[in-house]
Amino acid sequence: MPAVLHLLAHPGLATSHVNAAMWAAARGVAGVTRADLYARYPRHDIDIAAEQARLLAHEVIVLQFPLFWYSGPALLKDWIDLTLEHGFAYGAGGDRLHGKVLQLAITTGGTAAAYAPGGHNHHEVRTFLTPFEQTARLSGMRFAAPYVLHGALLADPAAHAAGFARLLAAWTADRVAPEVFDRAILTHDTLPLTEG
């Protein structure tokens, strides 16, 4: 069964009802290694060797974060810049992550209509996630469709958090259907899971 690594990057988790509910729901999923990057590295002093070792020990990496200014929070960017270094994730000898899966689990303050052509943000949310997708590609990882909740500020977190726990459990049981790599985004009611 695939080993799953769930990394949370939220600088204000105590005030986030949706991301906190997702984090709590994930706690009940067996076989998932979890780490809160802001709790672990409040001063951004990332232990690169430890983070790389953790990546090597897992086949599926799930990054959970709120979309801030069309990207991830600052610590997540630092983590990517430092951990996925040349010779490890890309470049000469940088094949250590080949074949692994990268999936994002994100929340947005804006509604789905705001993340549509002609909407307030002028682009679909997947467009803003292109740097993450390209990071996966450069590192030899497969990029799974992101698990997204739009309008998180006003949403009831229960269904989304439960869907996130189902998704993590499906990864650990190797029950995620291949179309997870073909969809633009996933939501709690569009999870491509197989029977089993």
Q: Contact 71/77 with Cβ under 8 angstroms?
A: yes
* C-alpha of 8 from chain center: 8
For residue 114, report the phi and psi dihedrals to the nearest 5 degrees: -70, -25
Written as tens digits, the pLDDT of the chain (196 aa) is 789 999 999 999 888 999 999 999 999 999 999 999 999 999 999 999 999 999 999 999 999 999 989 899 999 999 999 999 999 999 999 999 999 999 999 999 998 899 988 989 898 999 999 999 999 999 999 999 999 999 998 899 999 999 999 999 999 999 999 999 999 999 999 999 987 6
- Cα 52 off chain centre by: 17
Domains of the chain: 4-181 (3.40.50.360)
Q: Would you say 10 and 65 are in contact if contact means Cβ atoms under 8 Å apart? A: yes
C-alpha closest to that of 184 among 150, 156, 147, 153: 147
Q: 3-state DSSP: the chain helix, strand, coil percent, rounded to 5? A: 35, 20, 45
Stated pTM of the model: 0.96
